Structure 1
């Protein structure tokens, strides 16, 4: 079974996957799990917002599809336990020695346009190593940039133009989007994406473009006709529960 199959079962209920994989148990407080997403944000030379989000989107899915995350791999049990529940992510910012220290923990670092993000293997929040737990969560923001037209040969990840999110929140949401997208792709499509190091284009569309692509109340039809998925937020931070924060389209 693919590491991401429980996620596909929950999102794409129309696939008819096993019912036992669709349950979303409520974890006890000391069993809450999350993926730490470390954003490199050097004070003297901060990254661009768009490349940082593109690196975060690629890093999250790269951890999930790494060979070590597959059945029998050293990361599998941790990934399976996390993906079988809420796919929480906690974005933290790091620079200098703290960024270098984060490289020692299991995960994948992705660089896009000079921006660097390391997604770590998820685990229980109460077990987060002190070197990671001391990294700041709040204050992770960057000014909007103008990335230009999105290339047509990579997946498109769109931020909701009517919802304000810090770069930390957005980094978690685009990671959710690439994971859901990957969970619905064929093995051949995943191989092709892996060959491109899970590259994607993160953009903010116009309100009209967002509404045109939005799956509405027919996620199955949107996937079959346009290969579009939506991320609906649980509402733990920044946005109201049920808010669609990100759309992603396989292209």
Structure 2
């Protein structure tokens, strides 16, 4: 049975997250739940995480404010705060069993601004590079960078996973230049290919996860 992992970002009327913070928070949240003790071994979320990862690693991003957010906070999950963004990730559930307080939250039309260009990442910082040729909403892009972080995690050795988690998952999310994207496609870094259910064509390559521990040169 297919499962889905839900991410809910807090968007208040007078406090909206910035685009880069929202994207990086989504990546952090996915990594946090993957690394959580409850997700492995005999942990309470372990069976659900296994069932989810045995199929497509489907992720849905929703938004909440006010009482909606506080109801979401009351459900089992992990809250991540990153700059202007506050986001909560919930353990996967079968598609038809998403909790009512999450299922009723809006999933479309989530878009954020980026007032200032983000800084150039340090050369040793893992970067989730977004395809510059695609036009995706903020919510869609959050799901894609979540996939990118997930694929990077799966590609790392247990030792490098432990190191990344111990340092609180440093990472950056940036949009690649067109020439840079072409170069990235020639590497062995994990590439996200979207199923094409929303916004973009099936098979679109959306994100490439560049992690220093996955470099082969």
TM-score using structure 2 length: 0.93
Q: Tell me if structure 2 keeps the 8 A contact 1:78–1:123.
A: yes
The answer for unaligned runs of 5 or more in structure 2 is 213-217
Provide the residue aligned with 1:87 in structure 2: 57
**Equivalent position of 2:6 in the other structure:** 36
Q: Does residue 207 in structure 1 map to residue 178 in structure 2?
A: yes
* Alpha-carbon contact 1:37-1:119 (below 8 Å) kept: yes
Pick from 70, 77, 80 the counterpart of residue 47 of structure 2.
77
| DSSP-derived class of the 1:231 partner | strand
SS state at 2:125 partner: coil
1:193 to 164, 169, 172: 164
* Dislocated runs of 4+, deviation >2 Å: 151-154
C-alpha contact 1:151 1:201 (8 A) present in aligned 2:
no
Correspondence for 1:249:
210
* Uncovered stretches (5+) of structure 1, i.e. residues with no partner: 1-30, 216-221
What is the match of residue 141 of structure 2?
170
Residues 70, 76 of structure 1: 8 Å contact kept: yes
Q: Which residue of 1 aligns with 2:215?
A: none
Q: For the aligned residues, what is the CA RMSD?
A: 1.3
Q: Which residue of 2 aligns with 1:96?
A: 66
Superposed CA deviations along residues 88-124 of structure 1, whole A, max 9, x for unmatched, are: 1110011122112212222221111131111110101
Provide, for residues 18-75 of structure 1, a one-character-per-residue CA deviation record: whole Å limited to 9, x for no partner: xxxxxxxxxxxxx432101101111211011001100001101211221111121110
TM-score by length of 1: 0.81
Structure 2 match to 1:136 = 106
Which has the larger displacement, 96-105 or 166-175? 96-105
How many residues are matched?
211
